[in-house]
Structure 1
Amino acid sequence: MGKKDVDVVDITLRMLKATSYRWSDFSLWVDGNLFHVKEIEGLGRIALKGKTCLCSTTLSIFQDSAIVLDGEIYNLESRCKSEGLFSLIKVREPSKIKNLDGNYAFAIMHDNSVILVRDPVGIRPLYIASDDRGHAFATEQKALLAASFREIKSLKPGYLNIIDGSGLLEYEAYNLSEELRTLQPFTGSSQEIASILLKTLRCSIMKMVKGRDVGVLFSGGLDSSILVKILDDLGIEPELLCVGLPMSKDVLRAKRVAELLGLHVNIRELDEEEIKEALPHIIQIIERRAPLDVSISAPLYFALEVAKERKLSRILVGQGADEIFAGYKRYERIVEKGGYKLLREELLKDFSQLHERNLERDYNVYLANSVEPVYPYLDTAVIKCAFRIPIEEKLKKEVTGYSRKHILRVAAKLLGMPEEVINMPKLAIQYGSGVWKIVRRVLKGMRH
């Protein structure tokens, strides 16, 4: 939304060009008028000027409002999602957002105002920028930077922002992290609790997949193996995708676990030269340069290239399981230092920061390859279930040491998975795929 005498269409064109690698045709809603454009160059040939502009490939119109939805809302019918979203928040009541089940970011332009909403986990990114020209928003920071915006902030998960004549107003709609603190823990045996978890996870997968062809990012680790086993039990045969250097631990493990589960895995073996060649593009996509971020994104980028080649539009990922089920080695040190109470606080903190640390970075890689991520472990129902599980069932102290993600291992046994799969050690993706040393060396050379 522009201020007086500001041409927002020109600003929009600059933002579009910065993200042209993922656009084809798109629609524009300019001061209440709808335009369809086949290519970005075509926008320059249309004599448009305006004070308000909304642009997307998924723009839809309801009455006199324009709505853009990025993501999925499972409890709104597809044919009336626009009407449902508009009716939910036309009264500008933030608490209505709590009723939405899904992962989403959406914008509604109505009566010279814009309403922006982001899901309570923060799976879908949404950025806002303001200066003396007005206010702008986008799913990628690079779009705003291309339009010379500098003060860019990420919309907080579960928040509703309103841009109108009085400026930018921010409201908390749903604080999921605070709700998690109030949940009462489950009682019962490990097997009973794991059974509840599996039922919740199974329902989430059914809701998210809906019989469509899907792939799974598969390294043979516990998290992705459980997803694959549930899909198989549901009669859904996913395509398993794994990337890594030849003889890397991820490649070897994925082959072995797929064999034990009686499934086929598609392996893409990487070489050092193609990793080096792709790194500048990956850095541009993720908008970060830290070695850890780049080394995590590199194998994801190549895996999604395979998904795109195989015409898979949706990929299931085990993201979030480490944070909500205590999968990191450092959690053992936290328990030794401050006990299980301190560990619970650490899990809540890590969950609340997940969107900043990982999800926003990873989503850019999915966008670049036109693939939708599906996060069963980050479904709201699964998250609430996870934080009702007693903390001792997540990090179990045993005679031989700690069993991290213990409740997931119990769940895997209930699924009938082989002991070798359940207890097979797993490295983080940057190490298991073998790309860490290559990325670190290349980035060091780029700085000199």
Structure 2
Amino acid sequence: MLRATGYRWSSLALWLNGDFFDVKGVDELSRLGLRGRACLCSVNLSAYQDSAIALDGEIYNLGDAHGGWRPSTLLGGGLEGVQEKSRMRGLDGSYAFVIMHDGCAVLARDPVGTRPLYVASDGRGNAFATERKALLAADFQGIRPLKPGHVAFADKHGLRELEFYNLPEELRTLRPFTGPSQEIASILLENLRCAVAKMVKGKKVGVLFSGGLDSSIIAKLSSDLGMGPRLVCAGLPTSKDVLRAKRVAEVLGLELHVRELDEGEIEKALPEIARITGRPSPLDVSIATPLYFASMEAKEAGLDRVLVGQGADEAFAGYKRYEKVLEKCGYELLGEELLKDVSQLYEKNLERDYNTYLACSVEPAYPYLDVAVLKCAFMIPVREKLKVDAVGYSRKHILRVVGKMLGLPEYVVSMPKSAIQYGSGVWKVVKRVLKNARLM
């Protein structure tokens, strides 16, 4: 299991029956004589009495003195405390974690599913990992993702799951805002500002930047908060994303790190990118490629977290196909389509992108997928997201209003969406290379 994910780390910590061990590489594991003993590896590992927490991600209100959560709150209450839905719903963050306590393990995944987490159970016992390939390497069968908003309990009796937060159902039942666009946009802007503020706190932060609307809003908010974010971009030298990023970064007065790619560099990296994502299709690889090189650029710039615009198109009607949905089905069914797309992000896009970031030792953060932002988004009438007038369609209309309120240039506010594989210029290169390699 560890060898299958070794590209993600150079050292790790092990918690064995209450004791910590530092390990510099997989080959050193044999020195510890782990055969037949349960072990746990993680980037963030904390011990508490006879228990330990492994946390992938961040819980923003952990340790908040004002009614928030502390490690002792999670562990001190034992497994019964974790089963209380109200206590789990109180967690604000982007996370997958496991608590090891008294021969049992409790696993949890945030309501959006921003961090992948897989579980499996067979005659050898229970297993879990943030990557499917780790469990496959250990020949586990029946591997399945732990669903967002669920906890799982693993002990000698097996593996059982419990839902603690059905976010899609809550989003479906929210009462819509009323009032003018400016008023609604002000509420959305404040929620986005709060999301960015907690995600950049105490971190060396960058923004995955194309110069488009979504990333420009995040960059401007980070800058207004005094974080001095560094922008990162990757693509062919004459691609739309690279040229646009340079132009907008200069207007915003922010430092931009660009990884200008050539076809040979892309071709050489494709096998590794396909292995990291576990998805060799041309579309998946072409999306992951600019993310991979931008993440490498972020790491070389000394950044440990990048803010990304994932989720904005799904929550605010950014894709062109939504126009056809509206034409055929109307606003009500378009709203259902947006909810479905947000609900499926964890299995369609987030895992692929997350594995790409982590392979470069860079942690992603998703302001548009913050629970409070999503609640706000689904209280916004769909008509404010996909606007129709005499000129035509205005996708992500309410975000464009937010952009104007932030003082972004008009050409950024009115800019049409460009998918990353096309905007970066990578698509044609990936398509040709994979076709020549007979992988398509």
Whether TM-score is above 0.5 comes out as: yes
Deviations 1:139-169 (A, max 9, x none): 1122112112243211100001111122110
Is the 8 Å Cα contact of residues 318 and 417 (structure 2) preserved in structure 1? no
Inter-partner Cα distance in structure 2 for 1:419 and 1:89: 54
Deviation for aligned residue 1:84: 2.8
Name the residue aligned to 1:334: 325
Name the residue aligned to 2:235: 244
Decide which moves more: 72-81 or 54-63. 72-81
Inter-partner Cα distance in structure 2 for 1:27 and 1:62: 15
The one-letter amino acid paired with 2:391 is T
Name the residue aligned to 1:157: 148
Give the match's secondary structure for 2:119.
strand
Name the residue aligned to 2:118: 127
Is the 8 Å Cα contact of residues 121 and 158 (structure 2) preserved in structure 1? no
Say yes or no: does 1:207 pair with 2:193.
no
The one-letter amino acid paired with 1:438 is V
Name the residue aligned to 1:23: 9
* Compared CA separation, residues 128 and 447, structure 1 to 2 (3 A): farther
Say yes or no: does 1:296 pair with 2:282.
no
Is the 8 Å Cα contact of residues 17 and 40 (structure 1) preserved in structure 2? yes
Is the 8 Å Cα contact of residues 314 and 374 (structure 1) preserved in structure 2? yes
Q: Which runs of 5+ in 2 are unaligned?
A: none
Say yes or no: does 1:415 pair with 2:415.
no
Give the match's secondary structure for 1:135.
strand
Give the match's secondary structure for 1:447.
coil
Say yes or no: does 1:65 pair with 2:51.
yes
Deviation for aligned residue 1:352: 0.4
Structure 1 vs Structure 2: percent identity of aligned residues?
65
Is the 8 Å Cα contact of residues 204 and 376 (structure 1) preserved in structure 2? yes
Deviations 1:378-434 (A, max 9, x none): 111101011000110000011111100000011111112221111123310001101
Is the 8 Å Cα contact of residues 426 and 432 (structure 1) preserved in structure 2? no
Decide which moves more: 345-354 or 254-263. 254-263
Is the 8 Å Cα contact of residues 230 and 254 (structure 2) preserved in structure 1? no
Decide which moves more: 70-79 or 245-254. 70-79
Say yes or no: does 1:48 pair with 2:38.
no
- Of 87, 102, 106, which residue of structure 2 is paired with 1:111? 102
Is the 8 Å Cα contact of residues 94 and 160 (structure 1) preserved in structure 2? no
Inter-partner Cα distance in structure 2 for 1:105 and 1:46: 27
Matches within 5 A, 1:395-434: 395-434=386-425
Name the residue aligned to 1:357: 348
Inter-partner Cα distance in structure 1 for 2:353 and 2:167: 21
Matches within 5 A, 1:186-201: 186-201=177-192
The one-letter amino acid paired with 1:272 is E
Is the 8 Å Cα contact of residues 218 and 224 (structure 1) preserved in structure 2? yes
The one-letter amino acid paired with 1:93 is Q
The one-letter amino acid paired with 1:288 is R
Inter-partner Cα distance in structure 2 for 1:100 and 1:357: 24
Name the residue aligned to 2:75: 86
Deviation for aligned residue 1:318: 0.7
Say yes or no: does 1:348 pair with 2:339.
yes
Say yes or no: does 1:265 pair with 2:251.
no
Deviations 1:167-224 (A, max 9, x none): 1101111010000011111111100000111111111111111153311111111000
Is the 8 Å Cα contact of residues 43 and 56 (structure 2) preserved in structure 1? no
Deviation for aligned residue 1:22: 2.4
Is the 8 Å Cα contact of residues 52 and 112 (structure 1) preserved in structure 2? no
Q: Say how many residue pairs are matched.
A: 434
Decide which moves more: 76-85 or 156-165. 76-85
Q: Which runs of 5+ in 1 are unaligned?
A: 1-14
The one-letter amino acid paired with 1:294 is V
Decide which moves more: 76-85 or 183-192. 76-85
The one-letter amino acid paired with 2:353 is D
Deviation for aligned residue 1:89: 5.9
Is the 8 Å Cα contact of residues 204 and 302 (structure 2) preserved in structure 1? no
Deviation for aligned residue 1:31: 4.0
Inter-partner Cα distance in structure 1 for 2:213 and 2:79: 44
TM-score normalised by L of structure 1? 0.93
Give the match's secondary structure for 1:243.
strand
Decide which moves more: 349-358 or 109-118. 109-118
Is the 8 Å Cα contact of residues 241 and 265 (structure 1) preserved in structure 2? yes
Deviation for aligned residue 1:33: 4.2
Is the 8 Å Cα contact of residues 186 and 390 (structure 1) preserved in structure 2? yes
The one-letter amino acid paired with 2:72 is E
Is the 8 Å Cα contact of residues 25 and 57 (structure 1) preserved in structure 2? no
Say yes or no: does 1:379 pair with 2:370.
yes
Is the 8 Å Cα contact of residues 234 and 261 (structure 2) preserved in structure 1? yes
Give the match's secondary structure for 1:53.
coil
The one-letter amino acid paired with 1:36 is D
- Of 143, 146, 149, which residue of structure 1 is paired with 2:137? 146
Is the 8 Å Cα contact of residues 30 and 50 (structure 1) preserved in structure 2? no
Give the match's secondary structure for 1:373.
strand
Deviations 1:95-142 (A, max 9, x none): 021110000000011122111100000001101122222221111122
Say yes or no: does 1:280 pair with 2:263.
no
Is the 8 Å Cα contact of residues 21 and 368 (structure 1) preserved in structure 2? yes
The one-letter amino acid paired with 2:74 is L
The one-letter amino acid paired with 1:302 is F
Deviation for aligned residue 1:69: 0.7
Inter-partner Cα distance in structure 1 for 2:211 and 2:152: 41
Inter-partner Cα distance in structure 1 for 2:255 and 2:23: 42
Inter-partner Cα distance in structure 2 for 1:395 and 1:270: 35
